[in-house]
Amino acid sequence: MRYRLRQLFEGRMHIRKAGTSDEESIRQIHLEAFEDDESELVANLACDLLKERTSPGIVNLVAEEGMVLVGHIAFSPVLSKAEGSLVGCILGPLAVKPSHQRKGVGKELVERGLKELSLLNVGVILVYGDPNYYSRFGFKREVAEKYIPPFPLKHPFGWQGIDGFDEESHRDPLPIVCVNALNKPELW
Ligand SMILES: CC(C)(COP(=O)(O)OP(=O)(O)OC[C@H]1O[C@@H](n2cnc3c(N)ncnc32)[C@H](O)[C@@H]1OP(=O)(O)O)[C@@H](O)C(=O)NCCC(=O)NCCS
């Protein structure tokens, strides 16, 4: 408690789990970070992921500096379409306020999320985003090619993954389903 008070007082950035009371700050981060044509869509997705209840739960993390939220990331469960069994997680969305970009906040959010998921041993971790950014964390196209996303991709090069431990091998690409918030073709 004393450590947290010191962080707040000194205004140092730290990562914590997000709660539903963070909704408006999270919406604002995505509205500011994404381009106008997609910011509303992504901001709504981020808020939906904050409220949706799944098993296992959705991991929502925020970066906080002083009393201000400057970044947000979500990881939600991914299931096999045929069997409904858990195959892993998908990262997204991720955003950092423009005023706080290029200071390592995005990196901290991704690495903290990956660490939490590795402790939970969730399986594959997928992402649909810019390979120039995500490749630095070990995301690879070859891994994601083993999974068929729920909707056709507008940017197939953005489909990447990191293999989990004890990955079950399947010969043919496996169709997957995502949580309700991601179940919208316009997001893919
Ligand atoms: C992408 C984003 C989350 C990175 O956050 P950040 O806190 O600035 O990231 P970091 O400080 O950890 O890393 C910054 C590095 O990432 C690079 N970077 C940022 N966005 C990038 C992108 N789309 N493609 C490639 N590199 C990118 C920066 O050039 C910088 O590179 P450098 O370390 O060589 O200088 C942030 O720029 C953002 O919110 N962008 C708009 C929303 C978005 O595109 N989100 C999804 C990511 S695909």
Report CA(2)–ligand 1 centroid distance (Å): 32
Q: Give helix 23-33 / helix 36-51 axis angle, nearest 10°.
A: 160
CA of 83 to the centre of ligand 1 (A): 36
- The best mutation among 15, 35, 133, 160 to test binding of ligand 1, ranked by most ligand atoms within 8 Å of the C-beta, falls on 133
Ligand 1 centroid distance, CA of 102 (Å): 7
Q: Which domains does the chain have, with CATH numbers?
A: 2-187 (3.40.630.30)
Name the residue with the closest Cα to ligand 1, atom 33. Answer: 102
Amino acid identity for residue 133 in this structure: Y
Cβ–Cβ under 8 Å, residues 54 and 76: yes
Helices (H), the chain: 2-10, 23-33, 36-51, 105-120, 131-134, 141-144
Q: What whole-number distance in Å separates Cα of residue 181 and Cα of residue 179?
A: 6
User: What's the rounded Cα separation, in Å, for the pair 52 and 171?
Assistant: 32
pLDDT digits (tens, 9 = 90+) for 62-77: 999 998 999 999 999 9
* pLDDT given for residue 164 in this prediction: 80
Q: Please, what is the average pLDDT of the chain? A: 93
Q: How far apart are the first and last CA of the chain?
A: 41
Token pair of 147, please? 């999974």
pLDDT digits (tens, 9 = 90+) for 8-19: 555 689 999 999
Binding site membership of 133 for ligand 1 (Cβ less than 6 Å): yes
Four-CA torsion 129, 41, 87, 114, nearest 10 degrees: 60
Say what the pTM is: 0.93
| pLDDT tens figures, 121-169 | 789 999 999 999 999 999 999 999 999 999 999 999 999 999 986 556 6
